[in-house]
Amino acid sequence: MIWQAFESENVSEQKNKLIIAMTIAVISVILLGAVSFAFFPVEPKSQNGNPFFGFITARSSHLGVIFVASDGNVNSTALNQTGNLYSQTNNIINQTILVQRDNIVIDGSGYAFDGSEINLNGRSNVTIRNMDFTNASSITLNETSNCLITENSVPKTPNIISLWLNLENSSNNVISSNNLTMANIELYFSQNNTIINNTITDALSYGVSLSWSSNNTINGNYFASVLDPIDVDYNQNVISGNNMVNCDQGVRVLGSGNIVFGNNMTFADLGYHVQASDFMTGIVVDGSNNTVYRNIITGYALAGISVDSGGNAILSNGTPIPGEGFNNTFFENIIAYNKYGVLVGPEGYNAVDNNTIYHNDFINNYQNILVSSPDSVESNAGIAYYTNFWDNGSEGNFYSDYAQKYPSALESGSSGIMNIPYSINSHNSDPYPLAQPYMHENLSSYSNPFAGQTPFPYALRLTRPLSDDIVTAQNRNSIYVEFYTLPPNVTLHLNPAIAIVNVTTTLRAYTFNLAEPLPASTNYTATIIFGEGNNTQSYAWNFTTPSYS
C-alpha cells in the first residue's frame, strides 16, 4: 500500500510537471509569434490595388550582440580596433553593435551592415561613417550627445520603409551627407541637432520628422519622391536651403517660432507615384508665430502655401492642445503654377487670423489666394470670417493676373504700387499691390514646371501604381488613376493595347479594369485624357512591368 501510494503520488507529480511544461511551451510559442510580428517585415497588404507598406522600427532582442566595451575591447572579429577607430572587416548580418565607449569612430569600410542595429544610447562623441545599412538596419540614439552620423547609405529594400535613425532625448548631434532610399529620420524630445546635406528619396512617408523637439536645424537636404519630406511638430526649429522634387507635401510645421526660409520645392511630374494624399502643398503652417520667407514653390495640386489651425494636437499624456493659426508671417516667396498660391483655413475649424503676407510674387497660379470660411461661428470663438493682412503697411504682393482683373488700374506715380486694391474676398484684400515682381523683374524667369501642360483645376495626383519597384501580382488586372479633384470624362489608352472591361470610380479616383492581366517584362505607354471644354488635358507615361518572379 505504501508503494502504491508513493507510485500514485509520483505519477501525479509527473502529470503536474507535464502540465507546467506544456503551459510554458504554449506561452513561448505565443511570445515568439509576437516578437516575429513586432520586429520582422510582413508582406505588404493591398489597398486600392496598391501595396500598403509598414515600418520597421526595431530589431528582435535575440540578435547577436557585438560589444564595444567601455575599456575599448570588442568581442568580434567583424570590427578591427586601431586606437579609437573601429573598422568593419566583414559583412555584419543580424547583429546589434552595442557601443559602451565614448570618443570613438566606427567605419563601415565598404562592407554591408544587414538586418542589424547600432545602439548609441547614452553615448557622446561617437562617429558612425561609411556604413551600408541594408534590410532595414538602423541606428538608435537615446540620451546621446555630440555624435556624428555621416556619409552612410541606405539602399532600397523592396516593400520596406525603414526607420533608419531614431533620436530620443538627444542633443547636439550632427546627421550629415547620408544617402537614404525608402528610409527616414525621427527626433523625439531632442534639441540642438543638425540634419544637413542628406539625400532622401522614394519614401512613401516622411523624410525627417521632429516631435516635441526644438532648436534643431534642417538645412541643405535633397528630397525626391518623398510623401512628406519635413514634418515639424514643435517650436523654434529652422528649416532652410532644402530642395524637394515631386514630394506631396514639402514642409509642415505645427508649433510656433519655427523659421522656414530659402527652400526650393517643385512638383513637376504629374505621373509620379505617391500614396493617396490630401496634401499636395508646398508649405503647410498649422501653428502660430512662424516665419516663412524666400522660398520658391511651384506646381502643387492644392496650394503653394496653406495656413491652418491644425485642429487639435494631442500631448503624449493624451491632453488635447487647441490648434491655432495666428500671427504667422510670409514674405519674399515665389509662388508659381500651383492650384492656389496661398490657401487660408482649408479645414474650416478654429481660427486662422492676423497672419501677414507681403512682398510675395504670385505667378500664374490657377487662383492666387483662397480664404476659406469657418464651418461655424460657434466653433471659432465667435469668429464669422478670417481676416489677414496682405501688406506690411505700405507694400503688398505682386499678382501676375492683376492687369487682367483690373485693366484700367495705374501705378500711383512712381511708387511701384497700383492704384486699385487686389480683392481676395469681402473681408480680405491687398491695398498695396505691387506693379512689378518683388523678387525678380523678369516674368520669364519663372519657368512652368509642366512644360506647356495645364494641370489644373483637376490636378492629376497619382497615375502609376505599376512602377517597377512596387508592382505585385495582385494589381496586374487594373490601372488606378487618382486626382485631387475628380474630373469628368477620363479615358485610358494602353500601347500595346489591352481592352478595358469596365471603369469604377471613388471620390477621387478611377480604376480601369483590364480584360486580361498585364504580361511580365513588357514595355507600355499609357495615356489618359480627362476634363471637358477648355480644361481638357492629357498625360502619357511609360512603364515596364516586372518579371513577377
Residue 85: pLDDT band with limits 50, 70, 90: very high
pTM of the model: 0.71
Pick among 1.10.10.10, 3.40.630.10, 3.50.50.100, 2.60.40.1220: CATH of 460-544: 2.60.40.1220
The CA distance from 143 to 151, in Å, is 23
Q: Which helix (H) or strand (E) holds 3?
A: helix 2-39
What is the chain's Cα-based Rg?
28
* 50/527: higher pLDDT: 527
Residue 112, pLDDT > 70, answer yes
Over range 91-102, report the average pLDDT.
95
Please state, in angstroms and as integers, the Cα–Cα distance from residue 427 to each residue in 362, 386, 388, 502, following that order: 20, 7, 8, 47
- β-pairing, 222-224 vs 243-245, is parallel
**What digits encode the pLDDT tens for the residues 117-158?**
999 999 999 999 999 998 888 999 999 999 999 999 998 766
Residue 439, pLDDT > 80, answer yes
Residue 383 cell numbers, joined: 469668429
% of the chain with per-residue pLDDT over 90: 45
Tell me which residue has cell 495626383: 461
Residue 444, pLDDT > 60, answer no
The CA distance from 430 to 423, in Å, is 6
* 18/273: higher pLDDT: 18
The CA distance from 384 to 278, in Å, is 26
**What digits encode the pLDDT tens for the residues 504-549?**
876 556 788 889 988 888 888 888 887 766 667 777 777 777 776 5
**What digits encode the pLDDT tens for the residues 240-258?**
999 998 888 899 998 899 9
Q: Which CATH architecture has domain 204-453?
A: 3 Solenoid (2.160)
Mean pLDDT score of the chain: 77
